[in-house]
Amino acid sequence: MLTMLVLAVLHHRWRDYDGKIRRWRKLCLIPYLIMLAHHLIYVSGAPHLLSNYTPMYLIALIAFVPMLCADMEKGYRIFAPITGVMTVILGVISCTFSGDMHNFTRKSYTKSFHAMVREMDRSYVLKEWKELDFSALEEKYMPLVREAEKNNDPAVFSDAVFMFCSELHDGHVMVYSDYDESKYHSAFEMNDYGLAMVQLDSGEVIAVCTEKEVNRLGIEDGTVITKWNGKPVLQAAEELTEYEGVPVKANADRLAMFELSQTGGETAEVTFIDSSGAEQTAVLSAREDEHTLDEALDAFTHSPDSRREILVSNFGTKMLNEKCGYLRLSAETTGSNIRDYINFFRGESSSAREMFRKKLRRLKEQGMEYLVVDLRNNQGGHDEVGCALCDLFTNEDSYVQGVGFRRNGEYVRTAYHSLHGDGEFADIKVVALTNMNCISAGDVTAYQLSKLPNVTLAGITDPSGSGQMTGGGCILSDGVVSVGYPVGLTLNEDCEPDIDTRADMVSRNPVEVRIPLDYDAAMAIFRDNKDYELDWAVDFLENGEK
């Protein structure tokens, strides 16, 4: 952008000199040369980074437009302003959307891992909040990285990066692997033994999603499991140290039993209580058709089949019965990135508020007296969209969150967003359903709704516990592993990071009412494929109270 400004000034001074205009045309190649140099340094080896810098590269290419009409007075007068405006627009887009990406693909496993650790130590916004010692973590996992480099094993390298990132317990820290899984094998590959296990609120562990082969051994949906591979099942679950980076320990504990049911070798020994009340032991064989865990987790979280299905269902409404309305909020997005970012800088989304208003009015016309807002599996987006819904449920203005930056380990707030109480539906009793897959802006929406007197936040599990803004990333050796992490900061009223858990992994946004998970609930969820949580919410609205 600076080069384009200099070129504009030079053209104004040299336009009456033929020799200097010829020289000016050559200078117009400078932005293009800068683009090539930048591509070689920052993008080469990681082609998917190209989209991050496309706006900046377009600035270099549009420099050719005034160059071609440099000595055409009318043509230059027309195209120069257009070029200037496009340069500013593309520059703003580049600064806003490019993120903080780092290309370490040309480094070895050990050097790229070290470079990633050094960069995260510098820019990861929750370093102090989560009490992280990046040097100690590097020392802990570098031996595994060296082993991967020695054996040229991308799976082991990916495992090392995955374990490193899991220690951050941040749902916004994501690891992506790209290697030949038929040739190299991760230590985290799970086996499918034809069942999953879930722990009930009573402490009992039961089998769910059981297959016919397992049924023939005497284990059915609801069978109590007492031991796994010879160890008491609760003890075996406690010994699983890998929580896959889950931020909230209560959620991780719920997932541990699912994970345990996939742990073992070619066989796994399971001890259970048979129909006569006696304890029996059976040996399960690993299956090639691995789907039980996915089936169980999808049922537990009531997950749609795909992200596309989640987005298609966004903002969907219907009447559940004559009095109970339903609104699904799958992601905080209006469908237009530009509009959403404008709303971010404005601090509110009036268009989203009016959209929600129309939908709720239509439900009220159909007889709605109370409402379920479904935030389960919410993918996040822009907080302003979720807060636009909250505006309609309150008469009060209130603080939502601030944006700021991290400086010398401390947090500085530069601006903040507020709820703007509209109150049209403040008299409607609402249950907001959430779960462990409700993340980011969805987590913020859940938290803001829970603070309203007419809304009850409910779920079997708590929201994810991750609310900071993404944008950081490192692509490691040969593109084998990519890591994404938050670099943007959101702050609460005390100028602390909003939503995210600390090192103790205790939820800062727990549900207000825990939906019980007893035997009947488990059978409804896993065996009968019912939406138990939604049925519970309707019953709570009809018979319960805030």
Contacts 24+ apart (CB under 8 A), 163-167: 163/242, 164/113, 164/117, 164/137, 164/138, 164/140, 165/245, 165/483, 165/485, 166/242, 166/243, 166/244, 166/245, 167/132, 167/137, 167/245
Report the chain (546 residues): mean pLDDT per 10 consecutive residues: 82 78 83 87 79 81 75 71 80 69 93 97 94 97 97 96 95 94 87 94 96 94 96 88 79 92 92 94 89 92 74 88 96 81 80 95 96 95 93 93 86 88 94 96 96 96 94 92 93 92 95 96 95 96 75
The whole-angstrom separation of Cα 380 and Cα 305 is 18
pLDDT for the residue 359: 97
Give the angle 289-233-295 at the CA atoms, nearest 5°. Answer: 30
- Torsions phi, psi for 336 (to 5 deg): -130, 110
Q: What angle do CA 436, 441, 445 make, to 5 degrees?
A: 80
Distances (CA, A) of 428 to 112, 364, 400, 434, 442: 54, 10, 21, 19, 21
Which CA distances in Å does 154 have to 105, 106, 110, 177, 347? 13, 15, 12, 9, 44
pLDDT for the residue numbered 546: 44
Residues 6+ apart with CB under 8 A from 72: none
Q: Using CA of residue 114, residue 115, residue 118, residue 123, what is the dihedral sign?
A: negative
**pLDDT at 311 (0 to 100):** 67
Give the pair of three-digit tokens for residue 329. 């909020």
Long-range contacts of 49-54 (CB under 8 A, 24+ apart): 49/101, 49/103, 49/475, 52/97, 52/98, 52/99, 52/101, 53/94, 53/98
**Which residues have CB under 8 Å from 450's CB, separation 6+?**
432, 456, 457, 509, 511, 512
Helix, strand or coil, per DSSP, at residue 400: strand
What tokens appear for 252 in the block? 């991780």
| pLDDT at residue 491 in the model | 93
The backbone torsions φ and ψ at residue 293, rounded to the nearest 5 degrees and listed phi first, read -60, -45
* Nearest residue to 332 via CA among 353, 357, 309: 353
Task: Using CB atoms within 10 Å of the CB of residue 438, give its burial: 0 to 12 exposed, 13 to 18 middle, 19+ buried.
Answer: buried
How far lies 234's CA from each of 176, 205, 243, 260, 323, in Å?
31, 8, 15, 10, 43
Map out the domains of the chain with their CATH numbers.
Answer: 2-98 (no CATH), 102-177 (no CATH), 196-289 (2.30.42.10), 302-464+515-543 (3.90.226.10)
Q: What Rg value do the Cα atoms of the chain yield, rounded?
A: 28
Pick the closest to residue 497 from 247, 252, 237, 194 (CA basis): 247
Beta-bridge partners for 489: 404
Q: Three-state DSSP class for 29?
A: coil
Q: Tell me what pLDDT residue 70 has.
A: 64
What are the residues facing 484 on neighbouring strands?
174, 473
Strand segments (E) across 378-512: 398-407, 410-419, 429-433, 455-459, 469-475, 481-491
Helix, strand or coil for residue 103? Answer: strand
Task: For residue 512, give the DSSP letter.
Answer: S
pTM for the structure as a whole: 0.86
Rounded Cα distance, 506 and 450, in Å: 17
Four-point Cα dihedral 68, 70, 74, 77, nearest 10 = 100
